[in-house]
Amino acid sequence: MSKSVSSSASREAMTAADVRRAIVRIAHEIVERNHGVVGLAIVGLQRGGTWLGEEIAAQINKIESEVSVPVGALDVSLHRDDISLRPVSLGAISNIPFDLSGATVVLVDDVLYTGRTVRAAMEGLNNYGRPRAVQLAVLVDRGHRELPIRPDFVGKNLPTHRGDDVSATRDGVFVTPNSEVKS
Amino acid sequence: MKHLRSIDELGVDGLVDLLQLTDHMAEINQRPVPKVPALRGRTVASLFFEDSTRTRLSFETAAKRLSADTMTFNVSTSSVNKGESLRDTVATITDMGVDAFVVRHKSVGIPWQICQWTKASIINAGDGAHQHPTQALVDCYTIREATHAQNFAGMKIAIVGDIKHSRVARSNIQAFTLLGASVVLVAPPTLLPPDVSHWPVTVSHRLNEVIGGVDVLYMLRLQSERMAQGHVPTLREYSEQYGLTQQRVQALKSDAIVMHPGPMNRGVEMQIDPSDVKNSLIHRQVANGVSVRMAVLFKLLGSGSNLGGQA
Amino acid sequence: MSKSLVIKGGTIVNRDSQVIGDVKIENGRVVEVGKNLKGENQLDASGCIVSSGFVDLHAHLREPGKEEAETIETGSRAGALGGYTALVAMPNTDPPQDSVAVIDFVREQGKRAGLVDVVPSGCITLGRQGESLAPMAELATAGVTLFTDDGNGVQDAALMRRALEYAKGLGVTLAQHCEVAELTKGAVMNECSCCTDLGLPGWPSIAEELMVFRDIELVRITGASMHFLHLSTERSVELVRAAKRDGLPITAEATPHHLSLTQELLASYNPVYKVNPPLRSNADIQALKDGLRDGTIDAIATDHAPHPRRDKEMSLDMAPPGMLGLETALGVVLAEDACEIRDVVALMSWNPAKIARIDDEHGGDVIAGANANLCVFDPQLTWSVDPERLASKSINTPYIGRTLRGRVRHTIFKGTPTVIDGQAQR
């Protein structure tokens, strides 16, 4: 998850160029691991993962240009089981305009933290059909997992403190220490 | 937000929020499996003191799609609502562990009075001729869906019929005007409340003069009892003057919308079949009922009720 | 027989004088009024007004038939605490006060309670049904001087005319609850813009005014005495003012709640504010106050209407109308500051005693030889209403939590204190 917060106290963990290169690498890894793009679908998690999902899909389409990989967005706020740390973002609704059944769905999010968002996403996917497999791609893994969730594709492993605030966009990844809001 | 009892209590911000939240719910209802765990463990009780299968089922479906548990109490109107049994019923049900009551009653003010006897959230599904806020939400959402307008500034809406006895009219007048529409009430003087001068509306007694200029034509049901009570001389005369006839349909602007909260009195306020009316959105009003009610339930009971200012 | 009692240091308000002094009471009568009087018992009245005891022309004591809400005893106690030494009991009991048996029963119960003079009123029509006259002559022989169908107005103009003619022959007074029933079906509050917002039927002002007009004209042609109960609208006051200018034998009353509370309170959906006639507008309140000051309105009467808690927990449309009034009347009237103390005494004691035709024992000046039915009240004391501490069996007062001004310290009934320092003595 990300917040668009940056202050003079934040440090840059990835530059914009680093982010770009990570996206290219992740796209290659996805294609390699799945032996191509047949049956592949990208689903970005609202809100932080949707831009990333689109970027990764665009990269994949460059690598394997005969087929266009379907891209969707998933809003997990209604599937969460905890007091909402990612409350409903009005206007950021789910949009999965293709059939997921039998597909290999790659969930995409910007930051992997406790794992609760991903758990909610897996449950949310079930509403749309039964994928053959689900994989997880994240730009940043900041540790502190509370559930047995692990990413398949990672841009960068980034150790952080619980109080830190991590923001990840095309412009880079920034860590702001001791933010008041647990994120 | 703890209760949804009236549109003026909800306010314009609350109204807009709920309409946006309904988009999320509408998307869920499109899914092959239209169910989310957002209200798991919560219990929603329907207390319907007036018959209404459609509204009650709409609420119950909404609750179930959010994984809430439901309880239904259909109190017939013949076991008339002595204060004792109402208070006891509410207190007893609350003790069973209810998070929200959906209440419909023929007496005005019950949703406010009930709050003294329970800590649960109260959703008003209609109190006498006073308010029916979820219907207004459904109607606003339906208009928004059809016009893609976020607010109704510049829109001209005519509400036609028995305004005096209509809770749908009172809620809609508030909702439409809060969103910026200009509202005209069309009715014979006997079907208007005694003094509407402080309402932000205009009034006309002639539907033919108004119909060509409206963007939304909202028809209200006329109960046959109104003739017996002397509000209109005959139903036929009412229908001629204020009903939706073939001629009047043709007088509408090409993109004007026709709506009705249901159930319809065919041959009275609707002389023609609504499915023959090109721009009738009556079926959308029905379809949107569940999504709107899901938004309301989630707003009151879900983690969305802690919305605050977070992005 | 009884010990002598001196009420010390109060301001004695009589028709022609207001002096600070002592009042000595013995054997049920005032024996001396002066300074430095001595007696076996003493009650402090410093800072207080001493006047004849209050007379309420309009109290619903609910017995027989609705003892759950109030009994003659509990109502009498509430009256005594409010400074009353006489209460006219309204006849909408069950069975109604349209027979000598019930009249005698009510009077006896009042005597047994021994706190105030309970003066039963009689019905105008049998069973208050509005169809045929009650046996008014028989009831008059049993001592009834005031007749009313209160709770309802007599709808049939021809019947009302006959009733007035008959009453004239008997020398009794008819009192009317002015409400044209066909205009008020299902009414819950004053017909006004608030009513429009709530979608509730209302009592339009003309429902009262039409009957006031009708009965004034019937009095004009019959010459009988008429008392208008609980006037509540501007136009009603105007009509009565004009009728009095014409010299007609008409009197009128207003309630403390119609002088102090407005229709906007119904927006709280709380049935404690539901009353018939309903709370109206500020303009109506102003007109009523003008009427108090210029003599158009002769008396303040409480329309004390107890209802059990359960009944006032119903929805607005189902709840019965009515509010308590006996213990709060003085406090409300003084808080509203509508008139001078002397006028307050006239409105609450002298005039109503005359209208009820009990002015031989009540409402007289506090002078040697007078009956010792007295009220001692502190006109400055502010207090707030605690429903649990009311003497009435019911708690449906609209003044919970409000600050009132003026409170009864002592009440003397037939020479014996019924209330001392705000506490009932029996």
Mean pLDDT of A99-108: 96
At position A140, the amino acid (one-letter code) is: V
- Per the structure block, which two tokens stand in for C213? 């007009």
**Which residues in A lie closer than 8 A to residue B17 (C-beta atoms)?**
90
Residue B151 has pLDDT above 80, yes or no: yes
Domain ranges of chain A: 15-160
Q: Are residues C177 and C298 in the same domain?
A: yes
Contact: B87, C200; criterion CB under 8 Å: no
Q: Are residues C104 and C156 in the same domain?
A: yes
Any B CB within 8 A of A48 CB: no
Mean pLDDT of B206-233: 89
Q: Are C42 and C389 in contact (CB under 8 A)?
A: no
> Does residue C365 lie within any of the structural domains?
no
Any A CB within 8 A of B66 CB: yes
Q: Are residues C238 and C387 in the same domain?
A: no
Residue C65 has pLDDT above 70, yes or no: yes
Q: Which domain holds residue C335?
A: 53-355
Mean pLDDT of C276-289: 97
CB pairs under 8 A between B and C: 76
> Does residue C162 lie within any of the structural domains?
yes
- Angstrom distance (rounded) from CA C345 to CA C76: 20
Min Cα distance A123 → chain B (Å) is: 9
C-contacting chains (≥3 CB pairs under 8 Å):
B
CA distances B228 to B163, B235, C170, Å, are 17, 10, 44
Q: Are residues C198 and C339 in the same domain?
A: yes
Q: Are residues C33 and C71 in the same domain?
A: no
Q: How confident is the model at residue B91 (pLDDT cuts 50, 70, 90)?
A: confident
Q: Are residues C24 and C116 in the same domain?
A: no
- DSSP tag of C210: H
pLDDT of residue B76: 60
Q: What backbone phi and psi angles, to 5 degrees, belong to B171? A: -65, -40
A-contacting chains (≥3 CB pairs under 8 Å):
B
Q: Are B10 and B4 in contact (CB under 8 A)?
A: yes
pLDDT of residue B84: 55
**Which residues in A lie closer than 8 A to residue B31 (C-beta atoms)?**
127-128
Min Cα distance A82 → chain B (Å) is: 8
Any B CB within 8 A of A34 CB: no
Query: Which class would CATH give A15-160?
Result: alpha beta
> Does residue C199 lie within any of the structural domains?
yes
Pick from B20, B23, B24: which is nearest to A78 by CB?
B24
Contact: B83, C310; criterion CB under 8 Å: yes
pLDDT of residue A3: 52
Q: Are residues C348 and C381 in the same domain?
A: no
Mean pLDDT of B136-144: 97
Any B CB within 8 A of A124 CB: yes
- Angstrom distance (rounded) from CA C26 to CA C41: 10
- Angstrom distance (rounded) from CA A22 to CA A14: 10
Judging contact as 3 or more Cβ pairs under 8 Å, the answer for B and A is yes
Any B CB within 8 A of C191 CB: yes
Q: What backbone phi and psi angles, to 5 degrees, belong to B185? A: -95, 130
CA distances C10 to A81, B147, C343, C363, C411, Å, are 74, 78, 18, 18, 13
Characterize the bridge pairing of strands C423-424 and C416-420: antiparallel
Among the candidates C355, C382, C412, a domain finishes at C355
**Which residues in B lie closer than 8 A to residue A75 (C-beta atoms)?**
24, 27
Min Cα distance A157 → chain B (Å) is: 25
Active site residues of C: 303
Determine if the peptide bond prior to B40 is cis (ω within 30°).
no
Q: How confident is the model at residue B77 (pLDDT cuts 50, 70, 90)?
A: very low
pLDDT tens readout for residues C288-335 = 999 999 999 999 999 999 999 888 888 899 999 999 999 999 999 999
Contact: B304, A77; criterion CB under 8 Å: yes
| Residues of chain C numbered 261-290 and touching chain B (CB < 8 Å) | 268-269
Q: What is the pTM of this model?
A: 0.87
pLDDT tens readout for residues A19-43 = 999 999 999 999 999 999 999 999 9
| Residues of chain A numbered 69-88 and touching chain B (CB < 8 Å) | 75, 77-81, 83-84, 87-88
- Angstrom distance (rounded) from CA C279 to CA C264: 8
Interface pTM (ipTM) of the complex? 0.85
Pick from B31, B33, B304: which is nearest to A88 by CB?
B304
H helical segments located in chain B: 7-30, 53-65, 83-95, 110-113, 133-147, 167-178, 207-210, 225-228, 235-242, 246-251, 282-301
Any A CB within 8 A of B37 CB: yes
CA angle B47, B53, B54 (to 5 degrees): 110
pLDDT tens readout for residues B41-59 = 999 999 998 878 889 999 9
Any A CB within 8 A of B57 CB: no
Q: How confident is the model at residue B309 (pLDDT cuts 50, 70, 90)?
A: very low
Any C CB within 8 A of B5 CB: no
**Which residues in B lie closer than 8 A to residue A128 (C-beta atoms)?**
31-33
- Which CATH number does the domain housing residue C312 bear? 3.20.20.140
- Angstrom distance (rounded) from CA C43 to CA B76: 61
> Does residue C361 lie within any of the structural domains?
no
Q: Are residues C129 and C217 in the same domain?
A: yes
Mean pLDDT of B83-107: 85
Q: Are C196 and C188 in contact (CB under 8 A)?
A: no
Q: Are residues C25 and C150 in the same domain?
A: no
Among the candidates C355, C378, C410, a domain finishes at C355
> Does residue C364 lie within any of the structural domains?
no
CA angle B223, B226, B227 (to 5 degrees): 115
How high does pLDDT run on average in chain A?
89
Q: How confident is the model at residue B303 (pLDDT cuts 50, 70, 90)?
A: low
Chain B residue with minimum CA distance to A95: B27
Min Cα distance A85 → chain B (Å) is: 9
Mutation for B interface: C197, C203, C272, C281, most B CBs within 10 A: C197
Pick from A4, A88, A126: which is nearest to B24 by CB?
A88
Q: Are residues C268 and C124 in the same domain?
A: yes
Percent of chain B residues topping a pLDDT of 70: 94
Mean pLDDT of C389-405: 94
Strand partners, B101: B45, B122
What is the number of structural domains in chain C? 2
At position A30, the amino acid (one-letter code) is: I
Taking each helix axis as running N to C, give the angle between helix B282-301 and helix B53-65, from 0 to 180 degrees, rounded to the nearest 10.
50
Q: Are residues C311 and C404 in the same domain?
A: no
Q: Most confidently modeled of A66-80, A88-102, B196-210?
A: B196-210
B-contacting chains (≥3 CB pairs under 8 Å):
A, C
Residues in CB range of B148: below 8 A, 6 or more apart: none
* Beta strands in chain A, from DSSP E residues, in sequence order: 11-15, 40-45, 71-74, 104-112, 133-141, 153-157, 165-169, 172-176
Based on C-alpha coordinates, what's the Rg of chain B?
19
pLDDT of residue A182: 46
H helical segments located in chain A: 16-33, 50-63, 116-126
Mutation for B interface: C307, C314, C396, C400, most B CBs within 10 A: C314
Q: Are residues C70 and C27 in the same domain?
A: no
CA distances A77 to A167, B137, B258, C260, Å, are 19, 22, 35, 53
> Does residue C26 lie within any of the structural domains?
yes
- Which CATH number does the domain housing residue C9 bear? 2.30.40.10
> Does residue C144 lie within any of the structural domains?
yes
Pick from C191, C196, C317: which is nearest to B108 by CB?
C317
How high does pLDDT run on average in chain C?
96
Q: Which of B86-90, B121-125, C331-335 has the lowest mean pLDDT?
A: B86-90
Any B CB within 8 A of A110 CB: no
Name all domains of chain B by residue range, CATH numbers in brackets: 7-132+286-306 (3.40.50.1370), 133-281 (3.40.50.1370)
- Angstrom distance (rounded) from CA B108 to CA A148: 53
Any B CB within 8 A of C185 CB: no
Contact: B304, A87; criterion CB under 8 Å: yes
Among the candidates C355, C381, C396, a domain finishes at C355
Chain B residue with minimum CA distance to C191: B194
CA distances B44 to B60, B133, B136, C151, Å, are 8, 18, 21, 43
